[in-house]
Amino acid sequence: MPDAAVNPLKRLWRRAPRYRGRVVMGTTWAVLNQIFDILPELLIGVAIDVVVREGDSFVGQWTGIEDREGQLLALAGATAVVWLLESLTEYLAQRAWRTLSQELQHDLRMDAYGHVQELELAWFEDREAGRLLTVLNDDVNQLERFLDVGALQIIQTATSVVGVGVVFFVISPLLAVLAFLPIPVIVGGSLLFQRRLEPRYANVREQAGRLGGLIGGNLGGIATIKAFGAEKRESRRVAETSRAYAAANYEAITLSAAFVPVIRIAILIGFMVTLVVGGHLTFNGTLEIGMYSVLVFMTQRLLWPLTALGETLDLYQRGTASLRRILDLIDAPIAVRPGARELPPRAAGASGRAVVFDAVRFVYRDGDGSVRTRVLDGLDLDVRAGETHAIVGPTGAGKSTVVKLLLRLYDADGGAVTIDGEPVGELTFDSLRGEIGYVGQDTFLFDGSVADNLRYGAPDASDEQLRVAAEMAEAHEFVAALPHGYDTPVGERGVRLSGGQRQRLTIARALVRDPAILVLDEATSAVDNETEAAIQRSLLRVSRERTTIVIAHRLSTIRHADRIHVLDGGRVAEAGTHDELLERHGRYAALWAVQTGEITPRSSSPAARSSAP
Ligand SMILES: Nc1ncnc2c1ncn2[C@@H]1O[C@H](COP(=O)(O)OP(=O)(O)OP(=O)(O)O)[C@@H](O)[C@H]1O
């Protein structure tokens, strides 16, 4: 049976053997607690028996105590012991289930979060972050509620029905049959309700996910919403989604609210039958008065907890719907898995590492595997250790994709990507990514201080190392001028800094790692020309000890590269040094001419397209 079709509680039981002992323990306490909970009602009957039959009473026969006072005292003592045991087992059961639910919710959240972090980028592209947040927060909390309250209720109700049933059968099998008559109706009705409620609760969770996704996305893009004056439109969208969530809840509630009244009627019938038939049996002497009173109390005891069945099933449905989503997340298959080998240490004296792309093909795909965008089609790149290579080309040509394949954020569909001759797919992520200092187009900073961010890839870096890296990235001066220097908080995503400042910090962050391979993807696009030139000079200095791959639109920044690769049509259309490429009068020369203002873009485009290497 596919996992998704299996009851989520069964899935949880199978995958978490470490909790089984605790579940058994918690269940044992809960069962004992219910037994001690039923006993006082039996004692009521016994007390009436003492009053009615005096010396002949059950207590008298059993204990040998003749006088009523003595019998009552013995009964009071027994009641006290039972109540104490009831309280103790209640405490133990509550504690067992609540600690279990706390640990389980923590473990599941961590399992889910840990797994999500391992999933490849493509997986995230098919999902909204807010939805994931809903699973990691709301769904985990929902499960916690079920384990805290619902699981205990289920065990207690079941024990109570069985325990009371036994008492009934011992005292009067006829009344037992009559009192139990409503139970199949109640249980059958409950199951029917449950089956109907299940899809409604699944829908509630789905709507909660949509709402979380929408609000999460909007909060992330709040500046854009404001800039476009889209607040009202977004409010409407959130209102619609929120209403859909409320409607889904309403559908579930209308059904679940009908449950208790229906069950009450079944209980009423059971109660009346015991009252009338039991009364007749007592009139004609078949049943003792004490036993009659026990059964009248017990009918309540038997049937009344079943009214809570609605609420319990509610918790059960919500809890299992949530659990299913959490487990589905944890079980989501990982497509890009790390290899098992470590990258061998660099050869003595080697500066950087060699990076080779050999006939690499790559297609972005949708979740179902269908082609979204064809990008690389037989790409060859040969970057020798210690060299600086540039990748240029029209927007959308696949330049960023090349570095994503090197970092294994995606896997190539064909061909080979190697570092020092080692296929990247065979290397552990740590050894592969630990060698690469990556500065992407997205200048993402974490909420923390400047220093925290600079240390992100090298937690043990000294203050001096941070300063040197910041100087190379032309960031030291502005950082030193911040109110608290390197300890200044950057705000969420780095919002308290300018785009150019953020970019310089991301460069410094990559340099702090002192990587063998430095990858700069449009890393200086947001800084002014003067700063860019200064960064270029610094990088030229440090790039001698490492392999550098630069992606740039502004060709002036890469003209000194050892080799420039012009990407077009999914492969390298031409390659060479700046001077060689200019002499070729091909695509590069055309781009250069446009950027230096020698010719206008309009006249350059056809030339660029027609000049094959
Ligand atoms: N996650 C993705 N899913 C689907 N298609 C994508 C994805 N990322 C990029 N693409 C597409 O793949 C192609 C190559 O994108 P890539 O980012 O590598 O281009 P680029 O050359 O770096 O562009 P730019 O110069 O604009 O940064 C583009 O057509 C783009 O639309």
Task: Give the nearest ligand 1 atom to 122 CA.
Answer: 1
Does ligand 1 lie within 6 Å of residue 398's CB atom?
A: yes
ipTM for the whole complex: 0.96
Residue 217 lies in a domain: no
pTM (two decimals): 0.75
How far is the C-alpha of 555 from the C-alpha of 135, rounded, in Å? 46
pLDDT of 610 reads 38
pLDDT at residue 114 greater than cutoff 60: yes
| CATH code of the domain containing 599 | 3.40.50.300
Separation of first and last alpha carbons in the chain: 57
What is the residue with the minimal CA distance to atom 3 of ligand 1?
364
Q: State the chain's maximal CA–CA distance in angstroms.
A: 122
Residues ≥6 apart with Cβ < 8 Å to 39:
82, 86
Average pLDDT over residues 531-535: 77
Using most ligand atoms within 8 A of CB, pick from 400, 571, 572 the residue to mutate for ligand 1.
400
Q: How confident is the model at residue 3 (pLDDT cuts 50, 70, 90)?
A: low
Does ligand 1 lie within 6 Å of residue 196's CB atom?
A: no
Does ligand 1 lie within 6 Å of residue 600's CB atom?
A: no
Are 426 and 497 in the same domain?
A: no
Residue 477 one-letter amino acid: E
Residue 501 lies in a domain: yes
Are 458 and 576 in the same domain?
A: no
pLDDT of 228 reads 79
Half-sphere exposure of 89 (CA within 13 A, CB side): 20
pLDDT at residue 113 greater than cutoff 80: yes
What is the residue with the minimal CA distance to atom 14 of ligand 1?
398
Strand pairing partners for 574?
566
pLDDT of 40 reads 82
pLDDT of 423 reads 95
Residue 266 lies in a domain: yes
Are 441 and 425 in the same domain?
A: no
Using most ligand atoms within 8 A of CB, pick from 361, 365, 375 the residue to mutate for ligand 1.
375
Are 52 and 94 in the same domain?
A: yes
Residue 345 lies in a domain: no
What is the residue with the minimal CA distance to atom 16 of ligand 1?
398
Residue 170 lies in a domain: yes
Are 47 and 168 in the same domain?
A: yes
Output the six-digit token pair for 389.
């290579």
**Domain containing 366: what range?**
351-434+547-608
* Residue after which a domain boundary falls, among 270, 298, 330: 330
Residue 593 lies in a domain: yes
Select the more confidently predicted residue: 312 or 480. Answer: 480
Q: Which of 556, 552, 546 is nearest to 566 (CA)?
A: 552
What is the residue with the minimal CA distance to atom 7 of ligand 1?
364
Are 310 and 421 in the same domain?
A: no
How far is the C-alpha of 439 from the C-alpha of 515, rounded, in Å? 12
Q: How confident is the model at residue 248 (pLDDT cuts 50, 70, 90)?
A: very high
Mean pLDDT of the chain: 85
Are 46 and 56 in the same domain?
A: yes
Are 157 and 146 in the same domain?
A: yes
Task: Give the nearest ligand 1 atom to 393 CA.
Answer: 21
Are 135 and 88 in the same domain?
A: yes
Residue 497 lies in a domain: yes
Are 275 and 376 in the same domain?
A: no
Are 461 and 592 in the same domain?
A: no
Structurally, the chain folds into a number of domains equal to 3
Are 415 and 445 in the same domain?
A: no
Residue 127 lies in a domain: yes
